[in-house]
Amino acid sequence: MLNWIIITEEDEFSEERIRINGKRNFHIQEILKKKVGDTIRLLVPGICKGLFQVQSINQDFVTVIPSFLEDFTKQSPLSLVHVYCALPRPQTGKKILHLAGLYGIGQLTFIFPHSKNKEYLTSPLYKGGETTEIFDGMSQSGNPHPPSLKYLKSMSEFYEVMDPTDTIVFDPKGEPFSKFSNMINCRNVASNVSKFVFGPESGFLADEIEIFQQKRIPIAKLGNVILRTEYAFHAFLHETNRILETDPS
């Protein structure tokens, strides 16, 4: 069950009222069993979130009006985090996009895979299906700020934008992530780590690790067990969120 109803381009939005169409209309009427006068939790990505009252219902749409809007200025502790990730297989990509929306990271950049995995790019997920997965995560947590999503065509492009002073790379050969917790303060990106890099499930190539080492970029691991990408990503988000929430600065 959706915790928050996400307003999309299918719906009609104004400051006075919102007309909800399609699958969300069905969900409100048939799953939530809402009637005129009831309230629902609703989120307009990047604009507002809060309680909305059902004003009218018919077969094709539900109209709601604002009842109580929450503080929209509060950002996720991870809102300034930028994650680079080797483009994963589509089923894994769905989970990563979901988690990015759920936790409210600031930006997610996929790096195109090596030639042997080019078929990933033919998936509908990477041809416009990303937003659905991100919104699904946002509907679970109520995070109102969708992450920015970008693609880089190669590791060479990544090297061009990589900044050794604010980046941590994850690899099973690295040192424990906990060792770097004092470097993570994404409220002050001028002097702390805010960018994190995940390689393909097969791991970074030896020459890629050598480049990171030459640039003195810290290489971290999330434990002694080698995790699948989506589990490693979730472990990273959970631990980094914990570090930032307990940071007194």
Both tokens of 151, joined, read 């693609």
With contact defined as beta carbons under 8 Å apart, do 5 and 42 qualify? yes
From 42, 69, 96, give the residue that closes a domain.
69
The span from the CA of 130 to the CA of 207, in Å, is 31
> Is residue 127 domain-shared with residue 185, that is, in the same domain?
yes
Count of the separate structural domains present in the chain: 2
- 198 within domain boundaries: yes
> Is residue 88 domain-shared with residue 48, that is, in the same domain?
no
The span from the CA of 21 to the CA of 12, in Å, is 8
The span from the CA of 160 to the CA of 119, in Å, is 25
From 17, 45, 69, give the residue that closes a domain.
69
Q: Which residues contact 107 (CB under 8 A, 6 or more apart)?
A: 81, 82, 83, 147, 148, 149, 150
Phi/psi for 205 (5° steps) reads -70, 160
- 76 within domain boundaries: no
Confidence (pLDDT) at 48:
92
> Is residue 94 domain-shared with residue 150, that is, in the same domain?
yes
> Is residue 54 domain-shared with residue 108, that is, in the same domain?
no
Phi/psi for 54 (5° steps) reads -70, 120
Confidence (pLDDT) at 192:
56
248 burial via Cβ count (<10 Å: 0-12, 13-18, 19+) = exposed
> Is residue 138 domain-shared with residue 239, that is, in the same domain?
yes
CATH number for 181:
3.40.1280.10
CA 226 to centroid of chain Cα atoms:
22
CATH number for 10:
2.40.240.20
> Is residue 146 domain-shared with residue 219, that is, in the same domain?
yes
CB 21: neighbour CB atoms within 10 A? 14
> Is residue 31 domain-shared with residue 122, that is, in the same domain?
no
> Is residue 132 domain-shared with residue 226, that is, in the same domain?
yes
What is the residue range of 32's domain?
5-69
> Is residue 53 domain-shared with residue 169, that is, in the same domain?
no
Confidence (pLDDT) at 146:
94
> Is residue 157 domain-shared with residue 63, that is, in the same domain?
no
From 69, 92, 116, give the residue that closes a domain.
69
Which of 223, 229, 225 shows the shortest CA–CA distance to 97?
229
With contact defined as beta carbons under 8 Å apart, do 29 and 40 qualify? no
Q: Which residues contact 75 (CB under 8 A, 6 or more apart)?
A: 104, 145
> Is residue 94 domain-shared with residue 178, that is, in the same domain?
yes
> Is residue 11 domain-shared with residue 123, that is, in the same domain?
no
- 74 within domain boundaries: no
pLDDT along the chain (249 residues), means of 10: 84 94 92 95 94 95 95 84 94 97 96 75 92 95 94 91 90 90 62 80 89 93 86 94 75
